[in-house]
Chains A and B, each alone.
Chain A
Amino acid sequence: MAVIAGRPARGALLPPQLRALTGTRSGALAIFVVRRILWMVPIVFFVIVITFTLMHLAPGSPWDKGGGRQLSDTVVNNLNIRYGLNKPVFTPWFDFSTGHFIPFRWDDQFKLYIWNVAHFDFGLSYQYQGKTVSTLLLESWPYTATIGVLAFLLIIPIGVGLGVVAALRQNTRIDYITMGFATIAASFPNFVIGALMVVAFSVLAYRATGGNFYLPAAGFAMDDSLIMPVVTLALLPIAYTARLTRASTLETIRQDFVRTAWAKGLPERLVVVRHVLKNSLIPVVTTLGPTFAFLVTGSVIVETVFAIPGIGRAFVVAIESRDYPMILGTTILFSLVVAIANLVVDVLYVFIDPRVRLT
């Protein structure tokens, strides 16, 4: 499987004690999982490096006020000390002007940040005085997680169901309607879909029924206010899953073993579930990783459209007010989620498809 990168030939770099493991499938799987987990460390590290560097390239300081009165120098100085911004950002190892190595120091901003992140300390937020980024993230993640999990639960059954039905009834009206829906849902951006749904189900429904029936356009509770955010978030992945499932099912039903299954008189349900679905779902599983990425970016948009105080909304607010520790913390969290999702998918894939080579 072309998923992971940077591996030498099977077992080449392993110590001799571990090399024996590659002979068995479970041993190979264990090594594969460990390697993938270790590979996440440099990925997250580089995400931090890129984001951190970008933040510090930004002109001006975070205490600049847009127009009007600026903070006095003393206040800025105190704020810098409080947030550790008085220390150098990076310390170079070598001074080219003098030709000497610079003594190593631990307390530049970058190394301190990495050190703190390794201890799950993402620093203090700039915009909410005295609150740590971790507190803010902990406060907002239940909203994001609720909507994300509900959307995820919708994606698989609906997406796969639509795709299989469309494929089994290829070139009929059902097929055209399903794929038409999927194409529209895949090309309309989710904020457009969200806004149009608000117009239809909140504004127009309210006007038409005199306020008896409508869906709330904002807010978060365990009631009908969840319907529109979840649907908005799930629509795009559903459309992708449906298109992909249809394509792979069409490929599977032309295979010899499916013809054999029909020929030996299996009922349709068994042919579809046991033979077709089992094989056509394999490529669908690989897209579950990207689906998580969809949900992450989707949460940024959906939470803005429906005014939900989740992590995505917190990220946008942090971007608007240039709250760098918050932006960094959210970015790291998001990329971790995507990396873990990809890892889980790759491992799942090995269990689902015995043909996969573990390399």
Chain B
Amino acid sequence: MAIPATTVEQLVDWEVPEQQIGLWSDALQRFRRNRLAIAGAVLIAVLVLIAFGSPLLVHLGIIQDPIKQHVEFIESSPGQNGFAIGSDELGRDTFARLLFGSRVSLAVGILVQAIILPIGLAIGLAAGYFGGRIDNLLMRFTDIWYAFPDLLFVLVVVSVFGPSLLTIFGAIALVNWVGLARLVRGQVLSIKEKEFIEAARSSGSPPLKLILKHLLPNSLGPIIVTLTFGIPNAIFLEAVLSFLGVGIQPPTPTWGQMVFDGYEAIYANPTSVVFPALAIGFTLLAFTFVGDGLRDALDPRMRR
């Protein structure tokens, strides 16, 4: 039965966008509409500013030196002795330490992702694309890996090699790349059977071009989301290490260590625990919101 073209146009409400919207600008639009994600992004931007700006603030004399001890004013409560939110057990300004603590947390969160990105990409792409022995090896390896709770492994590695910045970053990266590699592998496996890949291959694309031009860009969304969720995970691991006393060593201020130190005198001065604890919590929350927002924005199935 032939339907006249005019009837179809009347039946179906063709909503033709005046301008073609690409995946990325569309994702950006949807991300912008997500209020929680924007709030998280703003908080992260503020944290980045604080992380870069805190040494300048000390230089300008706006905040105190986070390492300087005022032994006569230990465990001050907020507002007392000129400490905005109190001082710790060595008489150091909690507010200044709180601002400086953002540096370690953000550095761990972001640098760890920078370390695992190339590793996870390379192994995941190789396993997914070439399959066979590399794939088998990776999967057996991850099976064993998942029997090991993350935190235990990081603790063991840090205890063996000592709590330097390098070992802590390395140990956290070591437990995190596996998840990324598995994700990339899964993405590649599902994409490589699609028609457009077949078309590219049959028109003579070499494997490298196929990977870089087709497989990688098409699995970018989930990779970005995984990396975003990896940031709070890395920050959490570093904070726990510090809290357990095997993290980055004093006097470098880190939030986990501030909770650990404040915890010893929690009855005398609970604020020295509350502020760093909330700082960790809200930072992780901000990254979770941004991660949720990115996931919803980058998933084409969520498009309405």
Contacts and interface: CB of A to CB of B under 8 A. Distances in A.
A187 B149 contact: no
Nearest to B239: A189
Contacts of A186: 288
Nearest to B144: A46
Given A6-B140, A195-B277, A187 B285 contact: yes
A322 B147 CA distance: 23
Nearest to B242: A191
A339 B236 CA distance: 24
B281 A320 contact: no
Nearest to A198: B266
Nearest to A301: B240
B160 A320 contact: no
A203 B266 contact: yes
B280 A192 contact: yes
A320 B147 contact: no
Contact of A316 (B244, B277, B287): B244
A61 interface: no
Instruction: State the majority secondary structure of interface residues on A.
Output: helix
B243 A199 contact: no
A42 B145 CA distance: 12
A44 B143 CA distance: 11
Contact of B149 (A5, A202, A334): A334
Contact of A304 (B149, B156, B243, B280): B243
A199 B274 contact: yes
B240 A6 contact: no
B232 interface: yes
A132 interface: no
B150 interface: yes
B139 interface: yes
A127 B284 CA distance: 37
A134 interface: no
B147 A339 contact: yes
B240 A217 contact: no
Interface residues of B, number: 42
A24 to B, nearest CB: 28
Interface stretch (A52-60, A101-109, A244-252): A52-60
Nearest to B162: A59
A240 to B, nearest CB: 12
A5 B143 contact: yes
Interface string B273-304: 11001101100110110000000000000000
A189 B236 contact: yes
B68 to A, nearest CB: 25
A296 B240 contact: no
Interface string A311-346: 000011001101000010011001100110010000
Task: With a 10 A CB-CB cut-off, give which of B147, B239, B246, B284 has the most chain A CB atoms.
Answer: B147
B232 A187 contact: yes
Given A51-B156, A327-B156, A192 B151 contact: no
B244 A304 contact: yes
21 contacts: A43-B147, A47-B148, A58-B159, A58-B161, A183-B288, A184-B285, A187-B285, A187-B287, A189-B239, A191-B240, A191-B256, A192-B281, A198-B263, A296-B152, A297-B151, A316-B244, A319-B244, A320-B245, A334-B149, A334-B152, A335-B147
A297 B143 contact: no
A183 B293 CA distance: 13
A300 B245 CA distance: 13
A258 interface: no
Contacts of B277: 192, 195-196
A159 B150 CA distance: 23
